[in-house]
Chain A
Amino acid sequence: MISDIRRSLPRGAWWVLNLALTVLFLSPLVVMLSMAFKSKGDQGHIPPTLLPAHPTLASFRRLTSVQGLNIFHNLLNSVMVSLSATLLVVLFASMAGYGIARTKFPGAGAVFFIALASFMIPFQAILTPLYMLLKTMGLNNSLVGLTLVYITFNLPFALFIMRNAFASVPTTLEEAARVDGCGTIRAIVQIMLPIVKPGLITAGLMAFFSTWNEFFAALILVTSQEKFTLPVTLTMVASGSFGQIDWGSLQAGVALTIIPCIVVYLLLQRYYVSGMLSGALK
């Protein structure tokens, strides 16, 4: 079938089709960048122009001053929450992954099973009690509370990756290190970690993307504007002031949110693809 399509679809048509699809897939990003860099007059132009006549940073500047908003503050919130959640997810998942795969402590199987079973439960369904729980702990409307929730949501998948990564390292390697007088911790750090590095990157990458882009929990668990992460901040911009929506600033904000994702994706594509595949095939 595939070879048939390949035969019936000459190389030229294949190129035309793919190039057309590429334009289709990339055009929203062009629209975003173009709008973000247009001047105020350009932005309201009807019909809309394709490219900015006079590229300017004015839309980005307005994001730092309108409605008591300073988007760089929110950008910093996003960076802090997603980086700390990512680091802790990778740390906790590697520790637990090693423990489960390598030491077979009693209950190791149960821990792994419960973590895997939690894939089945959508986090949207437990957000109502989670909100109450954080309130009781005094962590409502707090970036620390949000980070803790993000760590938990991302741990099961990272644990799955890291357990498998550690399980696939030959036992003899660690034993040899120990015979050579390496302590367990040193054996892990110097011998094991370099081997499980692809797993570490994949687990970290998946955690970063999911926390950086997360919207629903952030919308519910954080209530004051100066603590918003970027995706929720965009709702503020989109709600406008005095019935007027500043579409240029909204696209500038969207660009700030999207560009880091694209850059990280382009740099670490291989790991991201393998993470998505193992996430689905788990």
Chain B
Amino acid sequence: MSTSTASLNQKPLARGIRSTRGTGLSTQRKILGALFALPTVVMIATFFLVPLGMTFWMSFNRWPLLGKHKWIGLENYSTALSDSNFLQALKFTLEYTVIITPILLVFGFGLAVLVRRGDRPARFFQSVYFMPVAIGLASASFLWLFMTQSQIGPLWDLMRRIGLISATSNLFAGHWSSLMVVNAMVTWKVVGLQMLLLLSGLQSIPDEVSEAARVDGASGWQRLWYITVPLLRPTLALVLVFSVAGSLLAFDQFYIMTSGGPSNSTITAVYAIYRNSFIQFKLGYGAALSVLLMVILAIVSAIQMLLLRNTDHT
């Protein structure tokens, strides 16, 4: 009798204790969690959100390095749209993107197929092809700058020996040869990443699908085009968006290897922003160009996503 009343009395009491302790603990934990997130929030707010807002604000101002800035509305934007240097830089950035992207896709796919076997030697070769990804773009550029120098560069010498170039040629004197040198360096440096991504896509396609088509009499190319490529579409989309975004933001390789030359023909969009903001110190104008670049990047990425999603239904 006494035990049962005791237990009857204890039950709500215990529940009461547990629930108050519970809410106390969870509020305490939420405060702790928020405190834990504080450094990250402060950093992102200060060094990302504030400058992002400032980019827009500065773009409506004439903003010299020293002295007062002045609100000029959309003038920077209207200047940009008739600035032949900037338009030329955009055109070149597009040209570079259109050339390097298919190179990376095709070579990346080829390497992925080569190492797909996945046994020990294949894994060894995979890690060799991926190694340059770990190297910085700047150091890779300085390395290739030397390799392609006239007379003393080993790659230049090899190209001359096999008759690709003459004994007096300077690869950085022409627009196309400069661009091709940069393309070769970039391919060496980043194609391992494309390989890795496409490899992970390939490995998700079961062998049986392709095998069944082969039994049904589809040729190798038919199977590549009608089975592998459609099944690989999500990965291809990803690799495409990656390569395009990376190329639209190119700077290091051109700054280091071509200095924008010959005669400013390899100035990229980011390079143009750099020159306006930090060489001529037209910071407001540089900010306006940055906004335009962000808009272009967003549009291009959205178009790629839409195109690759829509073709799903055909």
Instruction: Tell me, yes or no, whether A binds B.
Output: yes
CA distance A48 to B159 in the complex (A): 13
3 nearest interchain CB pairs? Answer: A103-B33, A213-B136, A99-B33
Which residues from B are CB-within-8-Å of A129?
A: 50-52, 54-55, 58, 287
CA distance A223 to B287 in the complex (A): 20
| Contact B113 A2, beta carbon cutoff 8 Å | yes
Known: A115-B44, A122-B294. A98 touches B33 (CB 8 A): yes
- Whether A192 sits at the interface, judged by CB under 8 Å, is no
Of B29, B200, B224, B278, the contact of A220 (CB 8 Å cutoff): B278
CA distance A262 to B135 in the complex (A): 7
Q: Which residues of A contact B (CB under 8 A)?
A: 1-6, 8, 14-15, 17-18, 21-22, 25-26, 28, 31-32, 35, 43-48, 50, 91-93, 95-96, 98-100, 102-108, 111, 114-115, 118, 120-122, 124-133, 148-149, 151-152, 155-156, 159, 184, 209, 212-216, 219-220, 230-232, 234-235, 238, 247, 250-251, 253-254, 257-258, 261-262, 264-265, 269, 272-273, 276-277, 280-281
| Contact B294 A247, beta carbon cutoff 8 Å | no
Q: Mark B242-257, 1 if CB is under 8 A from A, else 0.
A: 1001000101100110
| Contact B136 A118, beta carbon cutoff 8 Å | no
Classify chain B: how many residues form its interface, as a range.
Answer: 35 or more
| Contact A17 B143, beta carbon cutoff 8 Å | no
B129 and chain A: residue at smallest CB distance: A25
| Contact B30 A103, beta carbon cutoff 8 Å | yes
| Contact A4 B40, beta carbon cutoff 8 Å | no
Which residues from A are CB-within-8-Å of B145?
A: 238
Which residues from B are CB-within-8-Å of A18?
A: 114-115, 121, 125
Known: A31-B147, A111-B40, A238-B145. A133 touches B197 (CB 8 A): no
* Max chain A C-beta neighbours (<10 A), residue from B32, B142, B211, B294: B142
A-B contact pairs, 24 of them (CB 8 A): A1-B224, A2-B228, A3-B210, A21-B128, A44-B152, A48-B153, A99-B33, A102-B33, A105-B33, A108-B37, A111-B41, A125-B291, A126-B51, A128-B286, A148-B43, A213-B138, A215-B138, A250-B142, A257-B136, A258-B140, A261-B134, A261-B135, A277-B196, A277-B200
| Contact A238 B256, beta carbon cutoff 8 Å | yes
Which residues from B are CB-within-8-Å of A44?
A: 152
| Contact A133 B51, beta carbon cutoff 8 Å | yes
| Contact B40 A130, beta carbon cutoff 8 Å | no
- Whether B175 sits at the interface, judged by CB under 8 Å, is no
CA distance A22 to B37 in the complex (A): 45
CA distance A214 to B297 in the complex (A): 21
| Contact A132 B154, beta carbon cutoff 8 Å | no
Which residues from B are CB-within-8-Å of A265?
A: 131, 134
Known: A31-B143, A114-B44, A155-B44. A234 touches B223 (CB 8 A): no
Residues of chain B from 144 to 160 with CB closer than 8 A to chain A in the complex: 144-147, 149, 151-155, 157
| CB of B114, distance to nearest CB on chain A (Å) | 6
- Whether B116 sits at the interface, judged by CB under 8 Å, is yes
Known: A106-B30, A215-B252. A95 touches B146 (CB 8 A): no
CA distance A276 to B192 in the complex (A): 11
- Whether B117 sits at the interface, judged by CB under 8 Å, is yes
- Interface segment, one of B5-13, B92-100, B269-277: B269-277
A19 and chain B: residue at smallest CB distance: B125
| Contact B137 A213, beta carbon cutoff 8 Å | yes
* Max chain B C-beta neighbours (<10 A), residue from A8, A21, A26, A99: A99
Which residues from A are CB-within-8-Å of B54?
A: 126, 129, 132-133
| Contact B29 A184, beta carbon cutoff 8 Å | yes
| Contact A2 B207, beta carbon cutoff 8 Å | yes
Known: A126-B48, A128-B55. A107 touches B34 (CB 8 A): yes
- Whether B132 sits at the interface, judged by CB under 8 Å, is yes
| Contact B116 A128, beta carbon cutoff 8 Å | no
A220 and chain B: residue at smallest CB distance: B278
CA distance A124 to B293 in the complex (A): 10
CA distance A165 to B131 in the complex (A): 26
| Contact A132 B37, beta carbon cutoff 8 Å | no
Which residues from B are CB-within-8-Å of A277?
A: 196-197, 200
